[in-house]
Amino acid sequence: MGETTAIQATKSNQTPKSIIHQKYGTNAFYKIEEVREPVQNSCPGLAIPQQGPCLFRCNLQLPELSVTSETFKKKRDAEQNAAQMALEKLGIQPATDSPTSREPWDELIARISFLFSNEFLSSQHLPQHPLIGHFKAAFQRETECGLLPVSVLATYDAKLNNLCKSIKHNVERDPHLIVTLIMKAARLSDSAAISQGKLWIWKQSPYSPDILKALTSQQLSSSEGIWIQAVRIPCSIEKPVEPVTLYISSNGYYMDAIAQKLGLTDNSQILVSRTVGKASSEMRLYFSVLELPVPSDSSLEDLLDAKEVVTDGSFNERASYFSSQNIYGDAILASIGYTWKFPELFHEDVSLGTYYRMLIGRLPNGGYKLSREAILVAELPVAFTSRSNWRGSFPSDLLAMFCRQHWLSEPVYSTISITDPVDPFSVTSQASKKLKVTKPVEEETKYANGGSRDANDKESITLGDSFRCEVKILSKGQDLIIECFPVDSYRKPNDARQNAALKVLSWLNKYLKLDMHVEKLFSSGETHGLSFYPETFSKEFALCRSVHAGQLASALRKCSLLASSCVDQLNITQEQSVCSFKVEGLDSGVFPSTGTLICISYVVSLVRKEEDTKESLESSDEFEFEVGTGAVIPEVEACVTQMSMNQSAHFNTELPPRDFIFAAAGDSAKSMSLLSMGACFLEYSISLLRLMEPLEERMEQALFSPPLSKQRVEFALRHINESCASTLVDFGCGSGSLLDSLLDISTSLEKMVGVDISRKSLSRAAKALHSKLSENSDPAKSSIGIKSALLYDGSITVFDPRLTGFDIGTCLEVIEHMEEDQAHLFGDVVLSSFRPRILIVSTPNYEYNSILQRNDLSNKDEDPDEKMPCKFRNHDHKFEWTREQFNNWASDLAMKHSYSVAISGVGGSADVEPGFASQIAIFRRGPIDVVECSENVDIAHPYEVIWNWSRG
């Protein structure tokens, strides 16, 4: 061994952190803590200690020791300081003259010498070493010196590979570099020899005859050759990935078969990637070496300084993306090789389906689809409402998988607990306890109050703890890429964690699908509590985005306009107007609503236009999901919300991106050939099997008799009859439950109107009212005096003059579905502009929740924490008010607009704590009324008529 003097050690500009990384890789954990040092209090009377600037301290954990840095203003400095302290403790000097890379270099040479020695092949303790198979194959080809392709050495001897990594950490990214290092070391080895101009290494002197005999005598078990399926990934992203078949004859070498497919003259020109796919997979990418990277006279120093090889045009984005290594030219993806486990050649087919499942599995959405085994139906939901309603892999698992696949560090979570200020006088102690917390105290109080804007609210209700969670995505080198700290707080730490993970996943999904302009995307991310580190971000995700863009941007999903459904007879335009459904079966009157967990069965088929060929791509007998969370493609969601239980429906869509079809079709040759003939569409057939009501409805039905919703209707009815109202407007009528019930009984009403912003609900309301009114169209039989009924699509915070001056207005369980400022706005608009004679507003009483919680009837044997999955009764609620909050809202409003107000309720009693379950305000217009609308006759009519019925 000679040239060790040529080796320059660690470069002087290496930071302590990068030395630690070289040595420990992902076994080094950096944990940043925020430290807020209280400033010396100059004013002793001040209750709340002043806070100093935010500082950071870093704790570095290595397998053998752990150190904690000083405090710094920048996180990065704290990390470097910790790394420096660790190096000092380890006795490693990051100085120029340190010979840290000399030892691995010497070891590398020694390792190569050992691998090409008689000892290696005769050593009994390594009978299964993967290289042995390669040596056998070499001897089969009648070489006595065991000619091996250098990439095989680099790939299958873990020790060589690790030594190369410790000499230069970025060899991992670049198979060319690793090959260069090994060739260089082989030249210096005393037993190995290298070819001139070829990437082969062999033993300088022939192996001993005993060894040759021992290794060649074992006959290969099968005398016939094998065929295996593999996939070719062309260098140009425009060219499609295609299946290839490798044939390996009984005494052939698989590397030769691959060389042939790559159009190479011999196996020395093949480079091999690390494994791709699952951790246990043997799938690797095989590709051609760019040029011979071993100028024989270059020193190791030059090699170490060599930039990663970059060649324009020949960079294979898709293959590089799969392996996170630089791959050039066409590549073959195959699962074949000698392993520790199998003494014979291991091989498995890799189909196009495998490739596409792997490809889409790298998108957060695709990963979710795969976890649900519903590629053509499932979508990554936009919200994690509760563990019991979530189906498929959990967001935190999806995110961890995403990071692993993209060669990033595991996500780092930190959850903080937000304690309620139970007693306003204990603020001081509360505040000082919170020094470790990142956000100023006032802000937290706001969240803790469930979004209450009134920070001075003297309410002393115990809401229990709630939690916020932050998640960080870091590169393998521990550089920050994304931080996400959503403002929302949750009752359970796990919910906070899952939602934080989901925020990141949803954003990444949008980013990778190219749904939006990049700048818009980043700013939308920032409004959702995400922050980005642009430099590291673009470094880690550029390739990812361009590969998925190239693959996915091709086709945009659109529904085809096909057969009309019964809904059209009512002249209702669908919310998803691009798609229409054919619903079959009797209407059972039981509809899914937001928050309902439903179970469907479905079949998705690929249908060839013009011809009668149909091939099932995907199906499920039982597929559960929560309505309203975006857990399925929009067409399925739109369809099921139009269906009642036990009904079936069909609709067609244009083809989604090919990747999804190929992934779903798996290895179905028939589907593939159908597709290649062109002009196909997808046909969806869905049956609604079961539905499980959301918690609020379940509780209202089970805990109150009659059910709370019925009590609200009866309450409204009493006021209608007492006031002899003939006109009624229901603000936020939803699916028309109130209007529908009023048609069952005799009232003084002649005209009823409903307004809502949900088309879905409105079309259901229209359906129900239409059939009831037409059934009762014989006035002799009917006790109903209704002469006209109308449904409008519009927001009740916007004034429409057609709804002025009604006798009675109702707004049941609606305001809590709006943001609080919108609820205030509604109050002003309705009492100042619509000005009904009577207005009835109901909303949940927050204080009553403790009783509901105690009696919660959902799955008693489940995790007790699951019982009340969110702090409100329904996930769609933006707030729930206490009695005092509701009283304040109602009395301020009444005063402002000259109404009187009385507070009442249903469920429970006013005199028994904690009051009614549903609190109700009844506003009455004052005697002096100013009517101001007449002058603006041609004022705009912002509401859209959805359905209009009149008698006769």
Using CB under 6 A, list all residues that contact ligand SAH.
Answer: 732-734, 737-738, 755-758, 761, 795-797, 812-814, 817-818
The contacts of residue 935 (CB under 8 Å, 6+ apart) are none
**Identity of the residue, 369 or 764, whose beta carbon is nearer to ligand SAH in the bound complex:** 764
In whole angstroms, the minimum distance from the beta carbon of 520 to Mg ion comes to: 33
Judged by phi (left if over 0) then psi (alpha if -120 to 50, else beta), residue 653 lies in beta
In whole angstroms, the minimum distance from the beta carbon of 920 to ligand SAH comes to: 12
Q: Is the dihedral of CA 11, 17, 19, 22 positive or negative?
A: negative
Which of the choices ligand SAH, Mg ion, none does residue 732 contact, using the CB cut-off of 5 to 8 A by kind?
ligand SAH
Which of the choices Mg ion, ligand SAH, none does residue 256 contact, using the CB cut-off of 5 to 8 A by kind?
none
Which of the choices ligand SAH, Mg ion, none does residue 332 contact, using the CB cut-off of 5 to 8 A by kind?
none
Alpha-carbon separation of residue 61 from 24, 93, 100, 409, 472 (angstroms) = 10, 19, 21, 15, 18
DSSP label of 647:
-
Residue 92, both tokens: 């490693």
In whole angstroms, the minimum distance from the beta carbon of 718 to ligand SAH comes to: 16
Please name which of 902, 899, 894 lies closest in space to residue 926, comparing C-alpha atoms.
Answer: 899
In whole angstroms, the minimum distance from the beta carbon of 713 to ligand SAH comes to: 8
In whole angstroms, the minimum distance from the beta carbon of 832 to ligand SAH comes to: 16
Judged by phi (left if over 0) then psi (alpha if -120 to 50, else beta), residue 275 lies in beta
Which of the choices ligand SAH, Mg ion, none does residue 229 contact, using the CB cut-off of 5 to 8 A by kind?
none
Question: How many beta carbons lie within 10 A of that of residue 589, not counting itself?
Answer: 10
- What is the Cα 370 distance to its own chain's centre? 13
Residues 598 and 691: beta-carbon distance below 8 Å: yes
Q: Supply φ then ψ for residue 500, to 5 degrees.
A: -65, -45
Which of the choices Mg ion, ligand SAH, none does residue 795 contact, using the CB cut-off of 5 to 8 A by kind?
ligand SAH
Residues 805 and 944: beta-carbon distance below 8 Å: no
In whole angstroms, the minimum distance from the beta carbon of 738 to ligand SAH comes to: 6
DSSP label of 559:
B
Which of the choices ligand SAH, Mg ion, none does residue 733 contact, using the CB cut-off of 5 to 8 A by kind?
ligand SAH
**Identity of the residue, 618 or 820, whose beta carbon is nearer to Mg ion in the bound complex:** 820
Task: Give the binding site for Mg ion (CB under 5 A).
Answer: 813
For residues 419 and 675, give the distance between their C-alpha atoms in angstroms, rounded to a whole number. Answer: 58
In whole angstroms, the minimum distance from the beta carbon of 702 to ligand SAH comes to: 17
Which of the choices Mg ion, ligand SAH, none does residue 761 contact, using the CB cut-off of 5 to 8 A by kind?
ligand SAH
**Identity of the residue, 277 or 628, whose beta carbon is nearer to ligand SAH in the bound complex:** 628
**Identity of the residue, 627 or 796, whose beta carbon is nearer to ligand SAH in the bound complex:** 796
For residues 242 and 231, give the distance between their C-alpha atoms in angstroms, rounded to a whole number. Answer: 6
**Identity of the residue, 491 or 764, whose beta carbon is nearer to ligand SAH in the bound complex:** 764
For residues 786 and 783, give the distance between their C-alpha atoms in angstroms, rounded to a whole number. Answer: 9
In whole angstroms, the minimum distance from the beta carbon of 712 to ligand SAH comes to: 7
For residues 146 and 783, give the distance between their C-alpha atoms in angstroms, rounded to a whole number. Answer: 99
The two beta strands, 680-692 and 727-731, are unpaired
**Identity of the residue, 237 or 757, whose beta carbon is nearer to ligand SAH in the bound complex:** 757
In whole angstroms, the minimum distance from the beta carbon of 874 to Mg ion comes to: 5
Residue 914, both tokens: 């904690």
Nearest position to ligand SAH, beta carbon: 734
In whole angstroms, the minimum distance from the beta carbon of 740 to ligand SAH comes to: 10
**Identity of the residue, 100 or 797, whose beta carbon is nearer to ligand SAH in the bound complex:** 797
For residues 464 and 539, give the distance between their C-alpha atoms in angstroms, rounded to a whole number. Answer: 43
**Identity of the residue, 652 or 885, whose beta carbon is nearer to Mg ion in the bound complex:** 885
For residues 787 and 412, give the distance between their C-alpha atoms in angstroms, rounded to a whole number. Answer: 63
**Identity of the residue, 171 or 840, whose beta carbon is nearer to ligand SAH in the bound complex:** 840
The span from the first CA to the last CA of the chain, in angstroms, equals 106
756 forms beta bridges with 793
In whole angstroms, the minimum distance from the beta carbon of 820 to Mg ion comes to: 14
Residue 839 identity (one-letter amino acid): L
Residue with tokens 């869509």, as numbered in its chain? 653
Which of the choices ligand SAH, Mg ion, none does residue 818 contact, using the CB cut-off of 5 to 8 A by kind?
ligand SAH
**Identity of the residue, 121 or 713, whose beta carbon is nearer to ligand SAH in the bound complex:** 713
**Identity of the residue, 486 or 734, whose beta carbon is nearer to ligand SAH in the bound complex:** 734
The CA angle 189-191-196, to the nearest 5 degrees, is 75
Residues 490 and 499: beta-carbon distance below 8 Å: yes
**Identity of the residue, 761 or 919, whose beta carbon is nearer to ligand SAH in the bound complex:** 761
In whole angstroms, the minimum distance from the beta carbon of 736 to ligand SAH comes to: 8
For residues 178 and 192, give the distance between their C-alpha atoms in angstroms, rounded to a whole number. Answer: 17
Which of the choices Mg ion, ligand SAH, none does residue 329 contact, using the CB cut-off of 5 to 8 A by kind?
none
The CA angle 820-824-830, to the nearest 5 degrees, is 135
**Identity of the residue, 351 or 795, whose beta carbon is nearer to ligand SAH in the bound complex:** 795
Alpha-carbon separation of residue 743 from 60, 736, 769, 840, 946 (angstroms) = 70, 11, 8, 19, 19
> 3-state SS string over 694-721?
CHHHHHHHHHCCCCHHHHHHHHHHHHHH
Which of the choices ligand SAH, Mg ion, none does residue 737 contact, using the CB cut-off of 5 to 8 A by kind?
ligand SAH
Residue with tokens 């969110």, as numbered in its chain? 870
474 forms beta bridges with 480
Residues composing the chain: 952
**Identity of the residue, 473 or 818, whose beta carbon is nearer to ligand SAH in the bound complex:** 818
In whole angstroms, the minimum distance from the beta carbon of 371 to Mg ion comes to: 31
Which of the choices ligand SAH, Mg ion, none does residue 734 contact, using the CB cut-off of 5 to 8 A by kind?
ligand SAH
Crossing angle of the two packed helices 158-167 and 175-188, in degrees rounded to 10: 100
Residue 529, both tokens: 């509590």
Element (H, E) at 251: none
Nearest position to Mg ion, beta carbon: 813
Which of the choices Mg ion, ligand SAH, none does residue 812 contact, using the CB cut-off of 5 to 8 A by kind?
ligand SAH
In whole angstroms, the minimum distance from the beta carbon of 825 to ligand SAH comes to: 9
**Identity of the residue, 325 or 737, whose beta carbon is nearer to ligand SAH in the bound complex:** 737
In whole angstroms, the minimum distance from the beta carbon of 460 to Mg ion comes to: 25
